[in-house]
Amino acid sequence: MSKQTVRICHLYPDLLNLYGDRGNIICLRQRLAWRGIEAEVIEVPVGTKADLTQCDMIFIGGGQDFEQEVLLPDLRSGKDRELKAAIEDGKTILAICGGYQMLGSYYETWDGVRCDFIHAIDYYTVGSKKRMIGNFAFECLPESGGSKVVGFENHSGKTYLGSGVQPLGKILTGGGNNGEDGGEGVRYHNVFGTYSHGPILPKNSELCDFILQTALSDRMELEPLDDSAERMAHDAMLKKITQGS
């Protein structure tokens, strides 16, 4: 692989792509291109195989309860073991909503269907009849860069992290993991799990570069970009969400 090509594995692009989650791939590709770095995106739909060890990072979007159930047989045909190994090996993964839930132990829908997931990280999700819906904001913990993130959530699932597992951030406004403990998402090794659609990366360039740099830490140092327009849009949205103006 050339030093200037970054390989991104897009897992289940056919099933997990809610609210423009695919825009995260476009954003990663563009922010790399602005630095003269090429991105090779390897799409891994249901029924196909991929060698996760060959990519720099993995992206998994969100999906409804139905899609999460549909992909279970494929997940169990080997991708579960591959994903677990990649996570323990320190692979950088960004996983959104349904994709985030999938890396935990299970998701029990509000009407009692249980999706047994991959048990890679100690958390579980239970569905509630009352969905958490709307624009929301959170502040990443310092180990995940400390930036303030704006996004959009729409989930029935309430996620509860195990006692040794850290969230990605703390809620500023909105529901996040469960609407109860103030946590949002997960950070485990180099896994960034979040309920934030949006898509999250174009709206939050600081977090995007933090995740990219995590993925590329032993290959290259990313040059800063002129993000003045992105920052203005981000700051205006953050103000609107947190202060209502």
Choose the stretch contacting ligand GLN; rule: CB under 6 A; options: 5-13, 30-38, 48-56, 63-71.
63-71
Q: Which of 10, 155, 197, 234 is catalytic?
A: 197
User: Is 234 a catalytic site residue?
Assistant: no
Under the binding rule (CB under 6 A), the answer on residue 174 touching ligand GLN is: no
User: Is 97 a catalytic site residue?
Assistant: yes
**C-alpha–C-alpha distance, residues 88 and 209, integer Å:** 22
Instruction: Tell which one of 13, 62, 185, 199 touches ligand GLN (CB under 6 A).
Output: 62
Under the binding rule (CB under 6 A), the answer on residue 18 touching ligand GLN is: yes
**C-alpha–C-alpha distance, residues 81 and 121, integer Å:** 13
- Closer to ligand GLN by Cβ: residue 23 or 62: 62
Both tokens of 197, joined, read 């659609």
Residue 98 Cβ, how far from ligand GLN at the closest point, in Å?
A: 3
Binders of ligand GLN among 73-102, rule CB under 6 A? 97-98
Residue 196 Cβ, how far from ligand GLN at the closest point, in Å?
A: 10
Under the binding rule (CB under 6 A), the answer on residue 154 touching ligand GLN is: yes
In terms of Cα–Cα distance, which of 168, 74, 77 is closest to 121?
168
Q: Which of 97, 115, 140, 208 is catalytic?
A: 97
Is 168:196 a contact under the CB 8 Å cutoff? no
- Closer to ligand GLN by Cβ: residue 32 or 120: 120
For strands 5-11 and 191-194, give the pairing: unpaired
**C-alpha–C-alpha distance, residues 162 and 175, integer Å:** 18
b/e code 72-102 from CB counts within 10 Å (16+ = b): eebbeeebbebbeebbeeebbbbbbbbbbbb
Residue 37 Cβ, how far from ligand GLN at the closest point, in Å?
A: 29
**C-alpha–C-alpha distance, residues 185 and 160, integer Å:** 10
Amino acid code (one letter) for 7 = R
- Closer to ligand GLN by Cβ: residue 195 or 210: 195
Under the binding rule (CB under 6 A), the answer on residue 199 touching ligand GLN is: no
Give the active site residues. 97, 197
